[in-house]
Amino acid sequence: MSWIKAVGIGPGSSELMTNKAIEAIAECDVVIGYTSYIEMIKTLVKDKQIVSTGMRKEVERCEIALEKAQEGKKVCVVSSGDPGIYGMAGLLLELSIKNRIELPIEVVPGVSAVNAAASLLGAPLMHDFSVISLSDHLTPWEVIEKRIELAAQGDFVIAIYNPKSRERTEHFDRAVEIMLQHKRPDTPVGVVKNADREGETVLVTSLSRVIEEDIDMTTIVIVGNRNTVSERGHMITPRGYKL
């Protein structure tokens, strides 16, 4: 029986993969993914057919996955982190419905980048939080801007994916400007680059200073709420226990 699984391989190291993800890859015939994610799991995929494609080829990857499965193959489409968070799970399901393909599609969740980044910072996500991507590749900037505004107004902890890319550097500064209208300048901000990967860096700064940091598309930025503290290099958002 053929199937497709959208498999989350975790943020980077094999240590943070789940057993379910490892098993799914072990049982499949074909592994499809973005080139650098295939690289992350190269020891697991030695005897598999591998289809790796570059960035922004997501639709193509899913179409190949559906084709291969229709040919009778067991297919894993791998995403770093969790395939359900800015990953490949949605696109796979959308395409299977659009093309009326009736095949079992399972989503194998993973430790997402934001969970990994938070763990390295201490405990910034202990209270209500919003996750926002600043990439305007698929979403109008006005929508993103409005979400930043409302999340800041609601005193959410805000986790930012894709803060900057090579072509797009000004959005992050604008996002910080908006957050500064609702959050204190000394609000702790965590900046994690390459979480759980080679070149990992972790630092805690403040909302008024974060634009000085070296931020790129491998970075997750986590902005605290009004109670978040920064101590001993850790960022901690209290849950509210009386101590």
Of 141-180, which residues contact its own copies (CB under 8 A)? 143-144, 146-147, 149-151, 153-156
**Local structure of 156: helix, strand or coil:** coil
Between 132 and 214, CB nearer to its own copies: 132
**Binding residues among 77-106 for its own copies as defined by CB under 8 A:** 82-87, 89-95, 97-98
223 is an interface residue for its own copies by CB under 8 A: no
Whole-number Å distance between alpha carbons of 100 and 236: 47
Q: Which amino acid is at 22?
A: I
Phi, psi angle pair for 139, to nearest 5°:
-135, 135
Among 133, 201, 205, 218, the residue binding its own copies under the rule CB under 8 A is 133
Q: Does 209 bind its own copies (CB under 8 A)?
A: no
Nearer to its own copies, 76 or 89 (CB): 89
Coil, helix or strand at residue 103: coil
Residue 111 lies near its own copies (rule: CB under 8 A): yes
88 to each of 23, 85, 95, 154, how far by Cα in Å? 19, 8, 11, 30
Closer residue to its own copies, CB minimum distance, 115 or 194? 115
Query: Counting contacts by CB under 8 A, is residue 236 touching its own copies?
Result: yes
Token pair for 120: 């390295």
By CB under 8 A, which span of 31-39, 136-144, 184-192, 205-213 interacts with its own copies? 136-144
* Nearest partner of 144 among 124, 160, 129, 156, judged by Cα: 160
